Chain A
Amino acid sequence: MKLLLASLTNETNTFSPIPVGRGAFAAKLISRSPTAEPAVPCTTPLHIWRKSAEARGWQVIDSLAAWAQPAGLVSRPIYEEFRDIILQDVARERPDVLMLSMHGAMVADGYDDCEGDLMARARDILGSGAIISLEIDPHCHLTPTMLEAATLIVCFKEYPHTDIPERAHDLFALTVDAAEGRTSPVMRDYDCRMISMYPTQSPMMRRFVDDMMAAEGQGGLLSLSLAHGFPYGDTAVTGTRMLAIADGDAEKAAEVAQQFGELLWNSREELRIRWPDIPTALDRAQQATVFPVVLADTADNAGGGAPSDSTFVLQEVLARGMKDVAMAVYWDPVLVDMCCDAGVGAQMRVRLGGKRSAASGDAVDLDVIVRAIRESMVQDFGVVPSPFGTGVWLEADGVHLIVNNSCTQCLHPSLFSDLGLDPGQMKTVVVKSSNHFYAGFAPIASEVIHVATPGALTADFAAIPYVKRNPAYWPRVENPFA
């Protein structure tokens, strides 16, 4: 067997003002030999697939791996260039099996469905006999083109996405069975007509994920995935879809997809986002007696294409005169340079935040002391460290602010402690992240509060200004099936 591996990964917030071009990919990863380099989240599956395939004596070839931090639209020439590199490799090598790690919600100028486009072109080259397997993020747009062109699609089941390696192993086992003719996978999906966030640490979602895993391997059911959907991509198919893969039995796949989809629909009241606004959340933090209370600034999540420099929470913290507050992470490469120039111990007047778009809010002028600077930082995230760039700890009279030069969300308390700030000594910790922070921060938090902040990733899903997606989805309408 000959296996070709590739990754082309970006989550596109079509409402984000930050374009994604060559520079954005170059800042993260562009590699023609990804499995010869240290793994990052999108290449972790490639490492696993190579190892597993070589153990079976397969021939393995690396194609391109490229990923960029989520932001706005990917520029057309860059998407086409990267896609065509992979397709040329596919055409030259003519593998029996093509395994891809993608995001699932990549939108380029002129391509609302990059994954479907790449998959359909690969299928045209390889013909119906080859196996095409795709591992994607559940924050994807699952499209008919993808389902038609791919043999197997598996989403991560967990949010926070702590199960990328496990799903890579699952997909490899499914792929081997199909390639060796033991199974005939058939995929069907079910449109839940819902748009929401589904953190899998909630009791309902925990049960849902556990139920999916329990059903897999039973009665000809090969795999179940919940495509949560990515609310901040304006495409015709944006929304939550349930995917089932059965062995040769399309009706079975459709039936199970509908059954799990309806289970989600029937649990929607438990899933309804009821997060407090900023004043309410800070009231709760100020009334707490056990610390630290961890607040999530959910709308300013760089991982969803937000600028990671909004000031809405900071302004309210300053207005209340709160102390022993730590906040992370503000993206500001120019300010990082200024702090590096001033050095540790310097007292400075800085203008922080509010620099990228209207979703950033207004800039805040602060008198600060540079407490620490550290280069080449990483944050723990699952088993794979996530690059953080240069981090700076600024103190504005008891309010501790982390600034960095690499646009990334706040994932783990290690970023505070690596700079010398013990988050355990803080009363309040505010993290710019929607939910990925949870795995790292829950263990040190007295309480975790997701806050319905304003900004680029509003949790008010009914209010997202879609143009391409029809409004028949919950919670925009109470019954989209009516």
Chain B
Amino acid sequence: MKLLIACLATETNTFSPMPTGRRAFEAGIVSRTATRQEGNLFTAPLHEWRRMAEERGWEVVESLSAAAQPAGITTRAVYEEFRDEILQDLKTHQPDLFLISMHGAMVADGYDDCEGDMMQRARVLMGPDKVIGLEIDPHNHLTQTMIDNATLIINYKEYPHVDAPERARELFVMAADAATGKTRPVMRMHDCRMLTIIETMKEPAMSYVQSMKDAEGKDGILSVSLTHGFPWADVADVGARTLVIADGDADKAESAAKTFADKLWDIRDGLRMDYPDIPTALDMVEASNHATITLADMADNAGGGAPADSTFFLQEILKRGMTDVAHGIYWDPVLVTMCQDAGVGARMKVRLGGKICADSGDAVDLDVTVRGIRENMTQNLGETEMPMGTGVWLDADGVHLIVSSVRTQNFSPSVYTDLGIDITTMRALIPKSTNHFYQNFEKISPQVIHVRTPGAVTPDMTVIPYTKRDDNFWPKVENPFN
């Protein structure tokens, strides 16, 4: 057997002002030897696939891995170049199997469905019988083009996405079974007409994930995936969808997909996003006897294409005169350089935040002391080390602010402790993240509060200004099936 592996991934917030071009990918990864480097979220599956294939004595051809931090629309030239490099490898090597790690919500200038486009072109080159397996993030836009052209599609089940390597192993086994004729996978999806943020470490989503796992491997059901959808993209196919792969039985796949969609609909009230606003969340901290309460600045999540420099939380903290609060990660490479020049211990006047777009809010002028500087920092998301570049700890008279040279969400409280902050003395930690922060912060925090902040990835699904999809989804309308 000959296996070709590749990765082309970014999550596109079509409302984000930051274009995604060559430099954005180069700042992430552009490599033809990704399995010889440390894995990231999107290349971790390639490590699994190579290892498992080599254990079976298969020939492995590694093509391009390119991944960029989520931001705005990918430029057409860069998408086409990367896509064509992978397609050329398929043409040259004629593999029996093609496994690719993508995001599922990549939009390029002229391509609303990059994954569908890639699948379709790969299928044309490989012919109808070869196996094409796709692993994607559940924040994807699941399209008919993807389903029609891929043999197998699997989503990560968890959000936070801690299970990418585990899903990669499952996809490999299914692909091997299909390639050796043991199974005949058939995929069907069902439109849930819902759009919400589904935190799988909490009920009712936790049980829902378990029920998907329970159904797999029984009764001819090979795999069950839930596409949560990526809300901050103006494309026709945005929304939650269930996806079922059955062995040779399309009807079974279709009815199971419908069953899981109905199940999601039934638990919708538990998924309704009833998040407090900033003043309410800070009131809760001020009223509490506990230290180290976590408040998530949901809307300024770099992982969703936000700038990671909005000041809405900071302004309210300063207005209240709150201290012993730690907040990060502000993306500002120029300020990081200034702090490195000044050195640890320097007292500086800095202008923080509000620098990228209107969703950044207004800049804030602060007198700060540089308390810590550390290069080549990383944070963990599940098993994967995520780079954050140089981190700086600024102390504005008891308000502790983290600034980084690499734009990234705040996955872990290790960022604060690695820079020297004693988080047990903080009343609140305020990570800029929608939900990936959860697993790591939950361990050190007596209470975790998701906060409905304004900004680039607002968790209020009813106000996102779509032009390409209809309004017929919950919670925009209470019953989209009418």
Q: Which residues of A contact B (CB under 8 A)?
A: 17-24, 75, 77, 332-334, 337-338, 340-343, 346, 348-351, 354-358, 360, 362-363, 365
Contacts and interface: CB of A to CB of B under 8 A. Distances in A.
Contacts, number: 98
B348 A341 contact: no
B23 A341 contact: yes
A357 B366 CA distance: 9
8 contacts: A19-B338, A24-B341, A333-B333, A341-B21, A343-B19, A343-B75, A351-B356, A363-B354
A232 to B, nearest CB: 15
A407 to B, nearest CB: 9
B351 A75 contact: no
A349 B17 contact: yes
Interface in B4-54: 17-24
B350 A17 contact: yes
A363 B360 CA distance: 11
A338 B342 CA distance: 26
A17 B75 CA distance: 36
A349 B75 contact: no
Contacts of B23: 337, 340-341
B250 interface: no
Interface residues of B, number: 34
Contacts of B75: 341-343, 346
Nearest to B349: A17
Given A348-B19, A351-B357, A358 B341 contact: no
* Chain A CB within 10 Å, residue with most, of B20, B355, B365: B355
B357 A365 contact: yes
Given A333-B334, A342-B19, 13 more contacts: A17-B348, A19-B338, A19-B339, A21-B343, A75-B341, A343-B77, A351-B354, A351-B360, A354-B351, A357-B351, A357-B365, A362-B363, A363-B363
Nearest to B331: A334
A351 B355 contact: yes
B444 interface: no
Contact of A342 (B21, B333, B338): B21
B19 A346 contact: yes
Q: Is the interface of A mostly helix, strand, loop or mixed?
A: mixed
B22 A23 contact: no
A355 B19 contact: no
Given A19-B346, A342-B19, A346-B19, A334 B365 contact: no
Contacts of B351: 17, 354-358, 360
B353 to A, nearest CB: 10
Nearest to A73: B342
B360 A21 contact: no
B471 to A, nearest CB: 25
Contacts of B334: 332-334, 355-356
A355 B353 CA distance: 8
Nearest to B16: A349
Contacts of A348: 17, 19
A332 B332 CA distance: 11
Contacts of A341: 18-24, 75
Contacts of B439: none
A360 B355 CA distance: 12
In the A-B complex, the 7 residue pairs with the smallest Cβ-Cβ separation, listed nearest first, are: A21-B341, A341-B21, A19-B342, A342-B19, A19-B341, A17-B349, A355-B355
Contacts of A365: 357-358
B337 interface: yes
B340 interface: yes
A338 B343 contact: no
Contacts of B19: 338, 341-343, 346, 348
Contacts of A338: 17-19
Nearest to B21: A341
Contact of B365 (A21, A23, A358): A358
Contacts of A349: 17, 357
A354 B360 CA distance: 13
Given A340-B21, A346-B19, A23 B340 contact: yes
B342 A75 contact: yes
Contacts of A18: 338, 341
A183 B481 CA distance: 101
